[in-house]
């Protein structure tokens, strides 16, 4: 396995082994860089082009991911998710399948990472999930995204009081990124965009810190 470690980094805390899901997206790349620069070992996981294969919408694939990581890397200190997809369609055009796809793509999938992780990760481990500003700032065509983000945030708060040992869970909830404005066109008109590096720093805060049940807003 080619788990990425920046050998020139100067760690400011004990180095951790972090499984990062979605390392190839705009956010995932920034999180990977931020963690590596702080001396952490980042094991990437995604459907293609990663250290470990995983389809987070498939519970069996998540199980296999955890087993493979344990065999090839050993004990994992943190799981960080920067992945999740939802359909963007006007409310009147939404189908039941659209709603289910959104829940599976970003909510159920991330919840499953935690549910299965409980049995695979040590007592000190942490989980960092991803939501987004639509949980609190609705937009046209964003009903499913708002639903899913809100569901993940509610889960984080509830799971924090039930996780075993000293396991922690938080979510990062960013606004639109400066680097993504062109892709969204006028969808986020009037929103103050932020550099994606700010959201990556929130992952650092979650992984290196001691807080749990928190939604780290990046806006």
Report the pLDDT value the prediction gives residue 13, as an integer from 0 to 100: 65
d(CA 60, CA 83): 18
Predicted confidence (pLDDT) per residue in 116-138, tens digit = 999 999 999 999 999 999 999 99
| pLDDT score of 10 more than 80 | no
**Per-residue pLDDT band at 4 (split at 50, 70, 90):** very low
Residues 6+ apart with CB under 8 A from 95: none
d(CA 59, CA 77): 21
Report the pLDDT value the prediction gives residue 16, as an integer from 0 to 100: 97
Report whether 167 contacts 116 (CB < 8 A): no
| pLDDT score of 25 more than 50 | yes
Question: C-alpha angle with apex 159: 144 to 88, nearest 5 degrees?
Answer: 10
Predicted confidence (pLDDT) per residue in 154-200, tens digit = 999 999 999 999 999 999 999 999 999 999 889 999 999 999 999 99
| pLDDT score of 7 more than 50 | no
d(CA 75, CA 77): 7
Predicted confidence (pLDDT) per residue in 48-87, tens digit = 999 999 999 999 999 999 999 999 999 999 999 999 999 9
């Amino acid at each position: 396995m080619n788990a990425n470690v920046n050998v020139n980094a100067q760690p400011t805390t004990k180095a951790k082994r972090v499984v990062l899901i979605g390392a190839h997206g705009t956010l995932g790349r920034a999180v990977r860089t931020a963690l590596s620069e702080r001396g952490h070992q980042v094991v990437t996981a995604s459907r293609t082009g990663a250290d470990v294969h995983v389809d987070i919408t498939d519970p069996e694939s998540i199980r296999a991911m955890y087993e493979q990581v344990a065999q090839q890397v050993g004990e994992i200190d943190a799981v960080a998710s920067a992945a999740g997809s939802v359909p963007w369609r006007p409310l009147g055009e939404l189908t039941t399948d659209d709603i289910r796809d959104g829940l599976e793509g970003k909510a159920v999938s991330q919840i499953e990472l935690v549910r299965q992780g409980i049995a695979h990760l040590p007592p000190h481990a942490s989980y960092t999930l991803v939501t987004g500003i639509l949980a609190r700032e609705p937009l046209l065509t964003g009903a499913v995204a708002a639903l899913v983000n809100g569901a993940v945030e509610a889960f984080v708060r509830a799971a924090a009081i039930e996780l075993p040992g000293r396991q922690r869970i938080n979510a990062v909830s960013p606004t639109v990124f400066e680097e993504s404005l062109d892709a969204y066109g006028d969808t986020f008109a009037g929103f103050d965009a932020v550099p994606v590096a700010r959201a990556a720093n929130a992952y650092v805060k979650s992984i290196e810190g001691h807080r749990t049940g928190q939604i780290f807003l990046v806006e």
